[in-house]
Structure 1
Amino acid sequence: MTTTSDFPFMRAMPVLDCSDMTATIVFWRDKLGFDGATWGEPPTFAIMQRGTASIAFALMPKDKVAVSRNWAAYLYVKDVDVLYAEYEALGVELPHPPETRVYNCREFVVDDPDGHVIAFGQVLNPDPLGPGLGNRVGRDRKTAPP
């Protein structure tokens, strides 16, 4: 029997609000190296992709201004230092260089034009459960809650 923990998810695609579709597309394309497609005339929805990582953007109403300062997306990459150097050369504003974290990832963040915090991280020592999940508490562990 297949359970939800056995189901093979293919990928995730967060959908973020944006206030200016053109500025968002230009930033993600020219600064972060993503390609994309848009829908609507003028565009009201876009999907930007680099490799197998995809992030979608929906044009938000003019009166809506809700942006979290938490990560809006965390994108896993093979070599975070190489990506950081690429973005630095392109003039992307980078608040700090890559840092190694206690959860086994080396990462840095950027803010997109709407203030979404996007993290780019590299898993340092792969865990069979996936990035950052080696110490999780769940129903498949002896430490699981009843």
Structure 2
Amino acid sequence: MENQDNFSHAATIFPVEDLQTSIDFYTQKLEFKLTFSWGEPTNYAVIKKGGVSIHLVKKSDDRIPSKKHCALYIFVYDIAKIYKRCVSEKVSIINTPETRDYNMKDFDIKDPDGYIITFGNGG
């Protein structure tokens, strides 16, 4: 039976310069798992952690990510654990965990391609 809204799920897709660098960043530093790769050489990959999937595709244009706006907001249960992991892995951290005026405690990191990823939970 089809769901009333007809929506199943969504995929965040990040075009990246170097696919292996991005795979290594997400799997080694943030503990995502590589769940799918395609092409020879690989030009598309899917990484996953919990309910979050990120699709990585080899970039084919000169577009760059926003330097000011979050590309992906990941809701987490234990923000201190994620922050500690980012610090220990020397991830590029933009700001420290703080409760914002929108009542979310969050912090931002930057991935190797400059995408801003926010980790947060209810303040």
User: Which protein has the bigger strand share?
Assistant: 2
Give the CA deviation at 1:7: 3.2
Paired positions, count: 118
Q: Among the aligned pairs, what percent are the same residue?
A: 32
- 1:25-82 CA-to-partner distances (Å, cap 9, x unmatched) read 0001111111112111111111111111111111112x52322221111111011111
The residue number in structure 2 matching 1:103 is: 102
The higher relative CO (CA closer than 8 Å, separation ≥ 6) is in: 2
**Which letter does structure 2 place at the counterpart of 1:96?**
N
Contact (CA 8 Å) 2:91, 2:110: kept in 1 or not? no
Q: Would you identify which runs of 4 or more consecutive aligned residues in structure 1 move more than 4 Å? A: 8-11
SS of the equivalent of 1:71 reads coil
Bigger CA radius of gyration: 1
TM-score under structure 2 length normalisation:
0.86
TM-score under structure 1 length normalisation:
0.73
Contact (CA 8 Å) 2:25, 2:111: kept in 1 or not? yes
Structure-2 separation of matches of 1:81 and 1:9: 33
Matches within 5 A, 1:81-96: 81-96=80-95
SS of the equivalent of 2:53 reads strand
Q: Gaps (5+ residues) in structure 2?
A: none
What is the root-mean-square deviation of aligned Cα atoms in Å?
1.8
